[in-house]
């Protein structure tokens, strides 16, 4: 286990995952009608937007921790 | 009684014929010796980033998902959208844990999660617990895929009495069983590509055409009862719908990649990097799933449930008929054929992967471990092919003779059971700290408590946990895996003390978990 930690060291970039988790696991934050976007209540468009944001985060972590 | 929609039926049958041909032709794709289990059951671990994307996508977003998520939105409203946070949460997990598991499995030739647990903890009984949990959780899942086929075949107007009514399903499963037997994992991998293209076309067509017909998203959401558009705000002394929503998302996410069929798709990738890249590009499916969940609300807004033309379908299939009814209502017949074929093919892909996963588990972790420890390569592959047949046949018999309700309830319990393998499999990828017997005790406690919670909440996923006058409704799977972890952690030092002197067995080395 100690060897593993040496070679695969934890990166601050992983905090992006924590951010991603905290926001989406806290429904009071997005359980709202407004602001609406093209008629979609905030609840729906925000979560769809967060899918895209999460994908970008994952891509960032992928590039940042490669090699 | 509905009449047969001939145009749609012809398109449906043509597309079905195409993928049948593809399923058999797949045996020659990236050719390998199909008499070897890892060639038949893992496609020779040769799938790159793109094929892995289709395969995992075919696994996670099944026909049942495409029917059931909108059906839940149609019936229960906003809570169905938990599928979106769920799919947001799974990819960081995939990114962090599974490249490690891929590396160690590749190094040691493991083809199932139970293989890994056997090597890591050197305890055949713990590995057996992981095996049986995997098999039992997967079988009802295969059966549920059939429900997706049943609904669209019914919606095409193909009905009958007695055996004739079940004939389309029997044919579909015969086809599935035959190409899985002959081509192994290569069959669903190639078909997944066709299925996804069809599903994407169908979803985007619905998401564009329906708002145009109904006068925009604003009007659609105005027509949905207010109580269904958002989650109910919790009252005093309870976390209400909020904790239910968040725990359903987190618990389902933790459970997903523990399912044997997810593991099969992941292990068939050609590198840990292919898995990491997939964690970034798989959310393409999550976005679509979110759109699909909204389609359930479109059905409410369109007032389709009250139309006499669809009354028969809703009566027979309940809210699972929501999506087929909407498709019948807004699209020309030829496109109905395309969408329904997409759903039916979407059932075959995961059903094939699931039956292969069950076959791999039985062959490696029950037959080889307990019955015949030294099979030849050919015997092992042959055994797996037969077991995959038996698994599918079992699912077919189940769905023909047992009410759908039981398959749905068993699948719910399956999620609660499979998550109990998390400490051994996912944490096992990081640490050998846990005592193997402590893990087994945790698994047993979690499984029993989870089953009792599910029964106490009348076989619904959320259990109302009460602590000090406050109620925390939440997903039983998540609550019980916490119990499981606590028990494993408390018993580990105790049981280690009893086996003093002997070092824990571990066939793997720390370097095995890292990319070469």
What Rg value do the Cα atoms of chain B yield, rounded? 23
pLDDT in tens, B266-323: 999 998 888 988 888 888 888 888 888 888 888 888 888 888 888 888 888 888 888 8
pLDDT-based confidence at B161, cuts 50/70/90? low
Look at residue B115 in the predicted model and tell me its pLDDT. Answer: 94
Give mean pLDDT, residues A41-56: 92
Rounded to 10°, the helix B186-214/B333-361 angle is 140
Has residue A10 got a pLDDT over 70?
no
pLDDT in tens, B132-143: 999 999 988 888
pLDDT in tens, B110-132: 999 999 999 999 999 999 999 99
Query: How many whole angstroms separate alpha carbon A13 and alpha carbon A59?
Result: 11
Chain B hits for A3, CB-CB cut-off 8 Å, are 510-511
Has residue B457 got a pLDDT over 90?
no
Look at residue B160 in the predicted model and tell me its pLDDT. Answer: 67
Q: Measured between CB atoms, does A26 come within 8 Å of chain B?
A: yes
Helix H or strand E encompassing B409:
helix B404-418
Helix H or strand E encompassing B86:
helix B83-108
Look at residue B447 in the predicted model and tell me its pLDDT. Answer: 96
Start-end of H helices in B109-185: 113-121, 124-155, 163-183
Has residue B31 got a pLDDT over 90?
no
pLDDT-based confidence at B485, cuts 50/70/90? very high
Q: Å from B265 to nearest chain A CA? A: 20
Inter-chain residue contact B511 with A20, CB threshold 8 Å: no
Look at residue A5 in the predicted model and tell me its pLDDT. Answer: 44
Angle value at C-alpha B90, between B471 and B245, nearest 5 degrees: 25
pLDDT-based confidence at B421, cuts 50/70/90? very high
Look at residue B149 in the predicted model and tell me its pLDDT. Answer: 85
Inter-chain residue contact B290 with A52, CB threshold 8 Å: no
Which carries the bigger pLDDT value, residue B63 or residue B49? Answer: B49
Has residue A6 got a pLDDT over 60?
no
pLDDT in tens, B498-512: 876 677 788 888 889
Look at residue B439 in the predicted model and tell me its pLDDT. Answer: 96
pLDDT in tens, B422-446: 999 999 999 999 999 999 999 999 9
Whether the CB-CB separation of B297 and B224 falls below 8 Å is answered with: yes
Q: Measured between CB atoms, does A61 come within 8 Å of chain B?
A: yes
Inter-chain residue contact B280 with A59, CB threshold 8 Å: yes
Q: Measured between CB atoms, does A9 come within 8 Å of chain B?
A: no
């Amino acid at each position: 286990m100690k060897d593993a930690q040496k070679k695969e060291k934890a990166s601050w970039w992983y905090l992006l995952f924590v951010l991603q988790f905290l926001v989406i696991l806290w429904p009071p934050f997005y359980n709202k009608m407004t602001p609406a976007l093209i008629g979609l209540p905030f609840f729906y468009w925000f979560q769809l937007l967060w899918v895209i944001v999460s994908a970008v985060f994952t891509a960032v972590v992928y590039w940042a921790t490669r090699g | 009684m509905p009449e047969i929609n001939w145009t749609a039926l012809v398109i449906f049958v043509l597309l079905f014929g195409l993928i049948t041909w593809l399923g058999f032709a797949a045996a020659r794709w990236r050719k390998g010796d199909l008499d070897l289990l890892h060639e038949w059951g893992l496609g020779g671990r040769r799938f790159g980033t793109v094929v892995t994307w289709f395969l995992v996508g075919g696994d996670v977003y099944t026909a049942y998902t495409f029917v059931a998520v909108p059906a839940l939105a149609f019936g229960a409203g906003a809570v169905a959208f938990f599928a979106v946070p769920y799919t947001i949460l799974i990819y960081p997990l995939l990114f962090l844990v599974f490249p490690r598991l891929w590396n160690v499995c590749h190094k040691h030739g493991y083809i199932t999660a139970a293989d890994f647990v056997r090597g890591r903890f050197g305890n055949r009984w713990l590995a057996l617990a992981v095996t049986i949990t995997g098999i039992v959780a997967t079988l009802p899942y295969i059966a549920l895929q059939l429900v997706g086929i049943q609904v669209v075949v019914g919606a095409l107007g193909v009905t009958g009495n007695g055996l004739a009514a079940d004939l389309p399903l029997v044919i579909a499963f015969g086809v599935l069983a035959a190409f899985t037997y002959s081509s192994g994992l290569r069959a669903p991998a190639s078909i997944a590509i066709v299925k996804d293209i069809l599903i994407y076309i169908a979803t985007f067509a619905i998401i564009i055409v329906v708002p145009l017909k109904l006068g925009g998203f604003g009007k659609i959401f105005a027509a949905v009862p207010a109580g269904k558009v958002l989650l109910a705000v919790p009252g005093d002394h309870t976390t209400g719908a909020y904790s239910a929503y968040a725990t359903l998302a987190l618990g389902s996410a933790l459970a997903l990649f523990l399912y044997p069929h997810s593991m099969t798709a992941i292990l068939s990738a050609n590198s840990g990097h292919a898995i990491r890249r997939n964690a970034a590009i798989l959310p393409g499916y999550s976005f679509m799933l979110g759109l699909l969940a909204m389609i359930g609300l479109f059905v409410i807004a369109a007032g389709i449930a009250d139309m006499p033309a669809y009354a028969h379908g809703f009566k027979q299939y309940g809210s699972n008929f929501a999506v087929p009814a909407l498709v019948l209502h807004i699209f020309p017949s030829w496109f109905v054929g395309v969408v329904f074929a997409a759903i039916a093919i979407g059932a075959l892909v995961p059903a094939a992967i699931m039956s292969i996963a069950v076959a791999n588990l039985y062959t490696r972790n029950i037959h080889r471990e307990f019955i015949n420890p030294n099979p030849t390569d050919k015997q092992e592959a042959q055994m797996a092919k037969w077991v995959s047949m038996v698994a599918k046949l079992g699912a077919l018999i189940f769905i023909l003779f047992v009410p759908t309700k039981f398959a749905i309830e068993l699948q719910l319990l399956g999620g609660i059971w499979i998550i109990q393998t998390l400490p051994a499999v996912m944490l096992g990828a990081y640490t050998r700290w846990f005592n193997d017997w402590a893990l087994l005790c945790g698994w047993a406690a979690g499984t029993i408590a989870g089953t009792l919670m599910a029964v106490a909440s009348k076989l619904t996923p959320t259990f109302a946990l009460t602590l000090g006058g406050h109620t925390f409704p939440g997903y039983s799977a998540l609550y019980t895996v916490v119990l499981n972890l606590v028990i494993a952690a408390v018993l580990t030092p105790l049981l280690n003390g009893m086996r003093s002197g002997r070092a824990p067995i571990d066939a793997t080395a720390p370097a095995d978990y890292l990319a070469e």
